[in-house]
């Protein structure tokens, strides 16, 4: 069921209990977790934090902790499957689920006792009504008897009598027909409801609102909520419309917080955190890089210029000349650029970008600064934390370590880690850009009819990096965008992309991701989740649906071609 | 010559535990016992602790608590800290001028002014108006006093005084030069005792 | 707070020595120029420059401090000790002029210690030596103090280079005070770090797993 009063029905319930926090490995979940941890810290709530990367992890984590805990808080996982079916918990275990994954499983929605959904109902949910998908037990029982073994009808005298009644038989047939119809309709409704995967309001924002209701919201929490929202935008989970709306919500909170100190504005210590609304450039990490490298490695600019071509490089030089920025300045660290250039840099770039057809080089976002030299944009924080989360610098077994590191990098007291995350993010972006360029130049993207397909060969540079879901999704997004910009085939521009990359060479598995078509008005709804499931079922391919996003699966490399064929027939 | 090494070498054991200065964080720990006013946002009856009774806490009503508790409550967003009276830009500016004018150490507003400034500014800077200026002023005062301390230590040594008064010095200030000063004075004492002949005869028979 | 498992015993300075002080032990090996006042029978092997079986009277040789001190007696002259150069009149004037210009490390490095030990041997210059030692210390004190209290986070080897071993100890304790204060001020003292024992243990466990 949906929790309507998050304070009374969630926070006050868990406030005196020990709680298990099961947190998925994405940045929004990290931020939500940070906010909740801060709240728990205020009220001395004991909790155990368990990072989970997939369904298998979730099950093990639950089994390990079910003896000690009654209350489980699931962040960004658990809403889109029948959780009780999956975990088989005792009757007194209670799950609070704050998850952006949609559609929410109907059983979760209509379970009143054990499943409490911390999800805003004004999100575009369109859950089918109860009567459409569930029938009363009585009816079901009656039906079961009717269609089942006739001989045991003796226990029900009224049924027995009816059997010899002509009218009764007719009624029964009638009823069976109605039931079949109802079931067909139910399937249809469920199919429509479950067909597309998409994402709802950020979990971090949900918990920030909880903090606000409790009047315990701080600027740190507000900042985490902003990062959570920005993560959804960076990893392309929500529509532009939704992003703008949610940004406006955050903007209200930001001005409320800034207003609080207004009377002594000039006296607020420099060490205090300041969050400001920015209409900033869509250049990734430019404040921590050089402007040139940032332009080269940002998806938006590199696709617009088609930087993988010679012509594109020429165009970039023209663009820089048009802005009147000397190469020497552009190629040095942003921090060391001339103050005079930096002053109205954003306007200068916007003006020139307009000439080059990049109409929306600027985007509404937030920045933070504290101390004298620490300035960060929300988007850059997301990239840094994601790079830490999926760092491949060390062994595979260090997922928990990576999780903790990424979590810590969000605190102000761990600036060094944030900086190391930024360095990793730069490497990641470079790798993405190089892979995109080589895929486009060597025509690795094949049109399969209903969708585009690209397979990263084992041995491609940085292929290890792309065995991680977030990095591969980001690569997919960049690649599709680049492809749309480079292809002349109009039909291909509207196709979704399926991408596969080797995951584990020894086990012979590949990770497969499907993303919806790239367009300005895209609703970001993804049908690959169900399609993958069906294709795997029909070909009995050995797949593993372990990721919380259904559209990310693992697949035995040998089964790749038959899986693909099934997918093509399914979607044509 | 090496064959004639002294037998003492074989007796080398860790023997003397030298008296060392306190660690600054230990001094800070002592400072946390100072009282500071807070405005709580919760209500709680009086609590009785070995160190003294605290409270009662009523929302909006100022109450005096030790710094350690104030910071804990502040971090859990359960109170607002009212900075001590002396933590005020004008008062501190006056103090700094006085400190610079006088040759001797002037009285400080709190025996733990440095520690309190650091604790409160680091953890509750949003409750303290003009926090940055206060930080600079206190650091100025500290630097002036430490320079004075060094000057007087030097004159103390060069004039071979027998005792010095440490009026108005705080624990933290003494603590930073303590080890150095004590060691130096010990050395000087021994070098001075060389000047008095007479004990030499007894010394020699020891060997 | 750094806990040291080893606390060095400080040197005794003055005329007494600290039995367990490493510095004093090293000091006692300083060689002194001596002149034998009687024959040392069958000790010729100590004197490498001659082949005689005994060390004859009035031989000039160098003996370590501890041996000279043991052999020296005022009543029966066994040997006479000559003052090392730095304690003689000429150098003393240099020290009084400006003690700061002298490289005591090169001169010593146990200038104060050896100087004090020299007072064991009767010499009319003894009061002057003692006075010179004290004045040198006082004269150089300000410099030692200032450099130890101001050198934060920099290479101190240049500052320490010209210090006597005694002054080095003082310099180090001055630095200790400064460093611990600075790390407190920057908030490093409040950060908890895993003990090296724990880290090593984890490493070892990992290594065990891999093998």
Cβ contact, residue pair C119, B200, below 8 Å:
yes
Q: What angle do CA A203, A207, A212 make, to 5 degrees?
A: 145
Cβ contact, residue pair A264, B129, below 8 Å:
yes
Give the pair of three-digit tokens for residue A502.
């080797």
Alpha helices by DSSP H, listed for B33-130, are 67-75, 89-101, 113-124
pLDDT reported for residue A396 = 58
Cβ contact, residue pair B8, C7, below 8 Å:
no
Contact residues on chain C for B6, CB-CB shorter than 8 A: 25, 28, 66
Alpha helices by DSSP H, listed for B76-170, are 89-101, 113-124, 131-158
Residue B42 forms contact with A (CB below 8 Å):
no
* Phi, psi (rounded to 5 degrees) for A199: -125, 145
Residue C169 forms contact with B (CB below 8 Å):
yes
Distance CA A360, CA A243 (A): 15
Contact residues on chain A for B125, CB-CB shorter than 8 A: 269, 271-272
* pLDDT tens-digit series, residues A522-539: 778 888 988 998 898 888
pLDDT reported for residue C187 = 77
From the list B15, B25, B175, the residue facing C9 with the nearest CB is: B15
pLDDT reported for residue A232 = 93
Burial of B200 (C-beta count, 10 Å sphere; 0-12/13-18/19+): middle
Highest mean pLDDT among B79-88, C74-83, C90-99: B79-88
* pLDDT tens-digit series, residues B28-63: 999 999 999 999 998 999 999 888 888 899 999 999
pLDDT reported for residue A491 = 85
Is the pLDDT score of C1 beyond 50?
no
Residue C141 forms contact with B (CB below 8 Å):
yes
Q: In what order do the strands lie in the sheet with B35-40?
A: B63-66, B35-40, B79-82
Is the pLDDT score of A140 beyond 70?
no
pLDDT category of residue B82 using cuts at 50, 70 and 90: very high
Mean pLDDT (whole number) for A495-513: 90
Cβ contact, residue pair B76, A218, below 8 Å:
no
From the list C126, C177, C184, the residue facing B179 with the nearest CB is: C177
* Phi, psi (rounded to 5 degrees) for A93: -75, 135
CB-CB contact of A43 with B76 (8 Å): yes
Mean pLDDT (whole number) for B110-133: 89
From the list A42, A218, A272, the residue facing B125 with the nearest CB is: A272
* pLDDT tens-digit series, residues A7-46: 899 999 998 889 999 999 999 999 999 999 999 999 999 9
Report the mean per-residue pLDDT for chain A.
Answer: 87
Contact residues on chain A for B126, CB-CB shorter than 8 A: 261, 268-269, 272
From the list C64, C133, C174, the residue facing B191 with the nearest CB is: C133
| CATH class entry, domain A1-123+194-255 | alpha beta
Cβ contact, residue pair B131, A41, below 8 Å:
no
Residue B26 forms contact with A (CB below 8 Å):
no
Q: What angle do CA A344, A346, A347 make, to 5 degrees?
A: 70
pLDDT reported for residue A145 = 43
Q: What ranges do the domains of chain A cover?
A: 1-123+194-255, 270-431, 444-571
Alpha helices by DSSP H, listed for A135-165, are 137-147, 157-163
Selected residues 66-105 of chain C with any CB under 8 Å from a CB in chain B: 66-67, 69-70, 72, 74
Contact residues on chain C for B190, CB-CB shorter than 8 A: 12-14, 16, 116
Which of C124, C89, C134 is CA-nearest to residue B194? C134
Is the pLDDT score of B125 beyond 90?
no
pLDDT reported for residue A64 = 92
The answer to whether C17-82 and C84-188 have equal CATH topology is: yes
From the list C137, C169, C177, the residue facing B177 with the nearest CB is: C177
pLDDT reported for residue B45 = 93
* pLDDT tens-digit series, residues C88-117: 888 888 888 888 877 888 777 888 888 888
Contact residues on chain B for A267, CB-CB shorter than 8 A: 129-131
Q: Positive or negative CA dihedral for A528, A533, A535, A541? A: positive
- Residue A415 Cα, gap to closest chain B Cα (Å): 16
Report the mean per-residue pLDDT for chain B.
Answer: 81
From the list C127, C137, C180, the residue facing B188 with the nearest CB is: C137
Return left, alpha or beta for B92; rule: phi > 0 is left, psi -120 to 50 is alpha, else beta: alpha
pLDDT reported for residue B204 = 41
Q: What angle do CA A397, A401, A406 make, to 5 degrees?
A: 130
Return the bridge partners of A476, or none. Answer: none
Interface contacts B/C by beta carbons within 8 Å: 144
pLDDT reported for residue A380 = 93
pLDDT reported for residue A264 = 56
Cβ contact, residue pair B207, C70, below 8 Å:
yes
The answer to whether A1-123+194-255 and A444-571 have equal CATH topology is: no
pLDDT reported for residue A33 = 95
Is the pLDDT score of A152 beyond 70?
no
Q: In this structure, which CATH number among 3.10.310, 3.10.580, 3.30.70, 1.20.58 belongs to the domain A444-571?
A: 3.10.310
Is the pLDDT score of A153 beyond 50?
no
* pLDDT tens-digit series, residues A309-321: 999 999 999 999 9
pLDDT reported for residue C183 = 86
From the list B76, B78, B132, the residue facing A270 with the nearest CB is: B132
* pLDDT tens-digit series, residues A263-276: 655 567 777 888 99
From the list C69, C127, C189, the residue facing B207 with the nearest CB is: C69
* pLDDT tens-digit series, residues A430-474: 999 999 999 998 888 988 888 999 998 888 888 888 989 999 999
Q: What ranges do the domains of chain C cover?
A: 17-82, 84-188
pLDDT category of residue A131 using cuts at 50, 70 and 90: confident
* pLDDT tens-digit series, residues A80-121: 899 999 999 988 899 999 999 988 888 898 888 899 999 887
Is the pLDDT score of C186 beyond 90?
no
Q: Which residue has the tokens 């002396």?
A: B86
**Which residue has better confidence, B119 or C90?**
B119
Is the pLDDT score of A400 beyond 60?
yes
User: Per CATH, which fold does C84-188 belong to?
Assistant: Methane Monooxygenase Hydroxylase; Chain G, domain 1 (1.20.58)
Contact residues on chain B for C112, CB-CB shorter than 8 A: 187, 191
pLDDT reported for residue A24 = 94
Is the pLDDT score of A148 beyond 60?
no
Contact residues on chain B for A41, CB-CB shorter than 8 A: 75-76
CB-CB contact of A446 with A455 (8 Å): no
Cβ contact, residue pair B12, C166, below 8 Å:
no
Is the pLDDT score of C32 beyond 50?
yes
- Residue A419 Cα, gap to closest chain B Cα (Å): 22
Tell me the CATH number for domain C17-82.
Answer: 1.20.58.2050
Q: Is B79 helix (H, G, I), strand (E, B) or coil?
A: strand
Highest mean pLDDT among A123-127, A383-387, C83-87: A383-387
* pLDDT tens-digit series, residues A340-357: 888 888 888 999 999 888
End-to-end CA distance of chain C: 37
Long-range pairs for A411-417: beta carbons < 8 A, 24 or more residues apart: A411/A34, A411/A220, A412/A220, A412/A273, A412/A370, A412/A374, A415/A374, A417/A388
Q: Which residue has the tokens 């240049």?
A: C158
User: Which of B44, B117, B126, B127 is the best residue to mutate to test the A interface, defined by the most A CB atoms within 10 Å of its own CB?
Assistant: B126
**Which residue has better confidence, A290 or C35?**
A290
* pLDDT tens-digit series, residues C123-175: 788 888 888 888 888 888 888 888 888 877 777 777 788 888 888 888 888 88
Contact residues on chain B for A42, CB-CB shorter than 8 A: 76-78
Distance CA B90, CA B96 (A): 10
User: Which of C168, C180, C186, C187 is the best residue to mutate to test the B interface, defined by the most B CB atoms within 10 Å of its own CB?
Assistant: C180
- Residue B61 Cα, gap to closest chain C Cα (Å): 31
Q: What domains are defined for chain B?
A: 6-13+23-39+85-194 (1.20.58.1020)
């Amino acid at each position: 069921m949906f929790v309507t009063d998050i304070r009374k029905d969630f926070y006050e319930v868990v406030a005196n209990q020990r709680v298990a926090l099961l947190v998925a490995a994405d940045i929004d979940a990290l931020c939500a977790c940070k906010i909740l941890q801060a709240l728990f810290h205020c009220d001395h709530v004991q909790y155990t934090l368990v990072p989970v990367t997939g369904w298998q992890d979730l099950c093990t984590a639950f089994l390990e902790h079910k003896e000690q805990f009654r209350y489980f808080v699931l962040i960004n996982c658990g809403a889109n499957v029948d959780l009780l079916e999956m975990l088989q918990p005792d009757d007194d275990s209670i799950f609070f689920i704050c998850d952006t994954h949609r559609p929410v499983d109907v059983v979760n929605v209509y379970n009143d006792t054990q499943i409490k959904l911390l999800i805003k109902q004004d999100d575009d949910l369109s859950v089918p009504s109860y009567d459409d998908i569930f029938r009363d037990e009585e009816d079901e029982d009656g039906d079961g008897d009717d269609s089942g073994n006739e001989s045991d009808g003796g226990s029900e005298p009224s049924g027995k009598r009816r059997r010899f009644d002509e009218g009764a038989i007719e009624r029964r047939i009638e009823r069976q027909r109605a039931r079949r119809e109802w079931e067909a309709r139910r399937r249809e409704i469920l199919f429509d409801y479950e067909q597309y995967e998409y994402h709802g309001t950020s979990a971090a924002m949900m918990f920030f609102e909880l903090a606000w209701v409790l009047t315990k919201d701080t600027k740190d929490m507000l900042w985490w909520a902003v990062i959570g929202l920005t993560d959804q935008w960076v990893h392309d989970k929500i529509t532009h419309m939704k992003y703008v709306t949610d940004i406006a919500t955050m903007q209200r909170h930001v001005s409320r917080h800034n207003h609080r100190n207004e009377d002594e504005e000039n006296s607020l210590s420099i060490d205090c955190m300041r969050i400001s609304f920015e209409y900033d450039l869509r250049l990734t990490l430019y404040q921590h890089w050089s402007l040139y490298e940032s332009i080269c490695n940002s998806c938006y600019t590199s696709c617009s210029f088609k930087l993988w071509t010679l012509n594109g490089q020429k165009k970039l030089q023209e663009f820089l000349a048009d802005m009147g920025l000397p190469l020497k300045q552009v190629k040095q660290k942003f921090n060391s650029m001339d103050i005079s250039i930096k002053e109205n840099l954003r306007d200068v770039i916007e003006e020139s970008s307009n000439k080059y057809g990049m109409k929306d080089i600027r985007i509404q976002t937030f920045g933070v600064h504290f101390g004298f030299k620490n300035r960060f944009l929300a988007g850059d924080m997301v990239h840094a934390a994601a790079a830490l989360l999926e760092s491949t610098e060390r062994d595979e077994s260090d997922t928990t370590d990576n999780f903790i590191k990424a979590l810590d990098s969000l605190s102000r007291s761990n600036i060094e880690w944030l900086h190391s995350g930024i360095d990793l993010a730069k490497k990641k972006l470079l790798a993405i850009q190089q892979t995109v360029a080589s895929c486009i130049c060597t025509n690795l993207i094949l049109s399969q009819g209903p969708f585009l397909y690209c397979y990263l060969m084992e041995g491609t540079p940085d292929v290890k990096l792309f065995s991680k879901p977030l990095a591969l999704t980001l690569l997919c997004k960049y690649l599709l965008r680049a492809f749309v910009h480079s292809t002349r085939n109009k039909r291909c521009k509207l196709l979704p992309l399926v991408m596969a990359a080797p995951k584990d060479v020894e086990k012979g598995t590949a990770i497969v991701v499907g993303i919806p078509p790239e367009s300005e008005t895209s609703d970001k709804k993804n049908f690959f989740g169900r399609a993958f499931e069906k294709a795997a079922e029909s070909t009995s391919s050995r797949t593993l649906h372990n990721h919380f996003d259904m559209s990310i699966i693992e697949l035995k490399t040998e089964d790749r071609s038959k899986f693909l064929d099934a997918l093509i027939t399914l979607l044509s | 010559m090496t064959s004639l090494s002294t037998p003492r070498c074989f007796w080398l054991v860790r023997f003397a535990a030298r008296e060392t200065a306190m660690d600054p964080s230990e001094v800070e720990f002592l400072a946390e016992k100072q009282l500071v006013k807070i405005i709580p946002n919760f209500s709680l009856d009086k609590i009785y602790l070995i160190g003294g009774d605290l409270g009662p806490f009523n929302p909006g009503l100022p109450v005096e608590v030790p710094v350690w508790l104030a910071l804990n409550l502040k971090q859990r967003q359960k109170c607002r800290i009212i900075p001590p009276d002396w933590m005020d830009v004008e008062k501190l500016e006056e103090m700094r001028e006085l400190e610079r004018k006088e040759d001797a150490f002037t009285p400080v507003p709190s025996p733990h002014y440095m520690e309190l400034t650091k604790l409160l500014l680091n953890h509750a800077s949003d409750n303290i108006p003009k926090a940055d200026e206060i930080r600079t002023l206190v650091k100025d005062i500290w630097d002036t006093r430490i320079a004075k301390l060094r000057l007087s230590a030097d004159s103390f040594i060069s004039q071979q005084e027998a005792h010095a008064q440490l009026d108005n010095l705080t624990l933290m200030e003494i603590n930073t030069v303590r080890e150095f000063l004590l060691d130096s004075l010990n050395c000087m004492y021994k070098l001075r005792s060389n000047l008095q002949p007479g004990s030499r005869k007894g010394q020699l028979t020891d060997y | 707070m750094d806990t040291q498992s080893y606390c060095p015993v400080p040197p005794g300075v003055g005329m007494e020595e600290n039995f367990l002080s490493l510095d004093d032990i090293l000091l006692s090996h300083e060689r002194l120029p001596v002149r034998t006042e009687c024959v040392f029978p069958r000790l010729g092997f100590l004197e490498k420059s001659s082949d005689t079986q005994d060390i004859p009277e009035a031989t000039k040789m160098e003996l370590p401090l501890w041996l000279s001190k043991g052999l020296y007696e005022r009543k029966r002259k066994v040997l006479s000790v000559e003052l090392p150069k730095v304690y003689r009149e000429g150098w003393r004037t240099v020290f009084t002029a400006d003690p700061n210009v002298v490289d005591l490390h090169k001169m010593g490095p146990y200038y104060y210690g050896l100087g004090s030990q020299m007072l064991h041997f009767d010499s009319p210059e003894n009061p002057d030596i003692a006075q010179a030692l004290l004045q040198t210390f006082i004269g150089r004190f300000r410099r030692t103090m200032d450099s130890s209290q101001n050198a934060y986070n920099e290479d101190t080897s240049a500052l320490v280079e010209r210090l006597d071993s005694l002054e080095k100890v003082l310099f180090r304790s001055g630095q200790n005070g400064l460093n611990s204060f600075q790390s407190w001020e920057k908030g490093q003292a409040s950060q908890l770090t895993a003990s090296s024992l724990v880290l090593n243990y984890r490493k070892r466990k990992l290594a065990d797993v891999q093998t």
